[in-house]
Amino acid sequence: MILRDVQKNKQKTFVIVSVFFLFIALFIYFLSALVFDNVIFAVIIGITISLLFSYNAYYYSDKIVLKLNKARIATKEEYAQLNHILEGLCIAANIPVPKLYVMEDTALNAFATGRNPENAVVCITTGLLEKLDKNELEGVIAHELSHIRNYDILLQTIVIVMVGFVVILSDAFSRGMLRGDSDNDNKVGAFVAIIGIIFLILSPLFAELMKLAISRNREYLADASAVELTRNKDGLISALKKLTTDDEELEQANKSSSSLFIVNPLVKERKKKNSLWSTHPTLDSRIERLQSIN
């Protein structure tokens, strides 16, 4: 079951990176063709820039996510118990010990990121550390380690970086459209205006479709895998119950990265019922499934 899910995640990642590569290559090609009026030069620029973006998205997406969330390393001196819990669970999961980070935030949340188990990161909020006991922390960390073992982290992080880039492009072109009519007196300005309109219309839909590539079932599977690691479903159930009652929104919360966290960091979105556009199953449904495990 786990091997099949890992393979599916790798296949989805390959497809998403390929689509992103073609999208950026075509976009840069058309823009370069208008500017330089040289097809061969435009092709070279389009492919080169697209390769650079795709390479950075694959190898540095975890660092981008950590920086966006203002995370810092959780040293063994400062967070001895947390590091001890992580190391013990990694032995049970038979995976390398990921780097451990914390976010200075009173909200209760956590996430894992990276491209594979050898280059992975687990990050939790200081609020989670303060309000959860040892068994509950074990449940949360085991959940994140399950995402690492199942290669969910690769797919999640790649999607977040891609969506973020599309949003940035949309914003850049919409701002370019609003600078004035003088830019639109030539074909480059007209092209920018047209692309800006297209991005404004399509970027929200594109972002949602990218996130839908990540199945919500991954949360149920990570919960069940966490119970296998800890052999204690009560710890994770208790942690999720505390997360259910937490009304504090993560300071760095945004829609593009919401699918990465153990629970949706946007409180209003978290309290909605399951829908086609939800990044997570409801906490009540996750708790119910955990309770049914024998």
Active site residues: 144
Q: Which residue in the block uniquely carries the two structure tokens 């003088």?
A: 182
Q: How far apart are CA 241 and CA 291, in angstroms?
A: 12
Q: How far apart are CA 60 and CA 254, in angstroms?
A: 20
Beta bridge partner(s), residue 111? 123, 261
Q: What is the dihedral of CA 283, 286, 292, 293, to 10 degrees?
A: -130
Tokens of 267: 């409180």
Q: Is the dihedral of CA 126, 287, 224, 61 positive or negative?
A: negative
Q: How far apart are CA 167 and CA 165, in angstroms?
A: 5
